[in-house]
Amino acid sequence: MRIPNHIGIIPDGNRRWALNKGFKKEEGYDYGLDPGLEVLRLAKKAGIKEITYYGFTTDNCKRPMVQQDAFKKACVDAVRIISSEGSSLLVVGNTQSQSFPKELLPYTKRTDMNGGGIKVNFLVNYGWEWDIEHILDSSGKNYSLQNKLHSSDISRIDLIIRWGNMRRLSGFLPIQSVYSDFYVVEEMWPDFQPKHFERALEWYDKQDVTLGG
> Which positions lie near its own copies, rule CB under 8 A?
57, 59-60, 62-63, 128-129, 132-133, 135-136, 138, 143, 145, 166-171, 174-175, 177-184, 207, 211-213
Report the distance separating Cα 148 and Cα 134, nearest Å. Answer: 6
Report the distance separating Cα 71 and Cα 26, nearest Å. Answer: 7
Angle between helices 33-46 and 194-205 (to 10 degrees): 40
Cβ atoms 68, 124 nearer than 8 A:
no
If the CB atoms of residues 45 and 141 are measured against its own copies, the closer one turns out to be: 141
If the CB atoms of residues 105 and 166 are measured against its own copies, the closer one turns out to be: 166
Could you tell me how many residues make up the chain? Answer: 213
Q: Residue 103 Cβ, how far from its own copies at the closest point, in Å?
A: 23
If the CB atoms of residues 82 and 200 are measured against its own copies, the closer one turns out to be: 200
User: Of 164, 125, 195, 153, whose CA–CA distance to 10 is shortest?
Assistant: 164
Q: Are strands 87-92 and 111-113 parallel, antiparallel or unpaired?
A: antiparallel
Q: Residue 116 Cβ, how far from its own copies at the closest point, in Å?
A: 31
If the CB atoms of residues 114 and 170 are measured against its own copies, the closer one turns out to be: 170
Q: Residue 191 Cβ, how far from its own copies at the closest point, in Å?
A: 18
Q: Residue 86 Cβ, how far from its own copies at the closest point, in Å?
A: 31
Q: Residue 209 Cβ, how far from its own copies at the closest point, in Å?
A: 9
E-state strands within the chain: 6-11, 50-57, 87-92, 111-113, 119-126, 159-163, 181-185
Cβ atoms 120, 153 nearer than 8 A:
no
Cβ atoms 160, 182 nearer than 8 A:
yes
Q: Residue 188 Cβ, how far from its own copies at the closest point, in Å?
A: 14
If the CB atoms of residues 66 and 166 are measured against its own copies, the closer one turns out to be: 166
If the CB atoms of residues 59 and 112 are measured against its own copies, the closer one turns out to be: 59
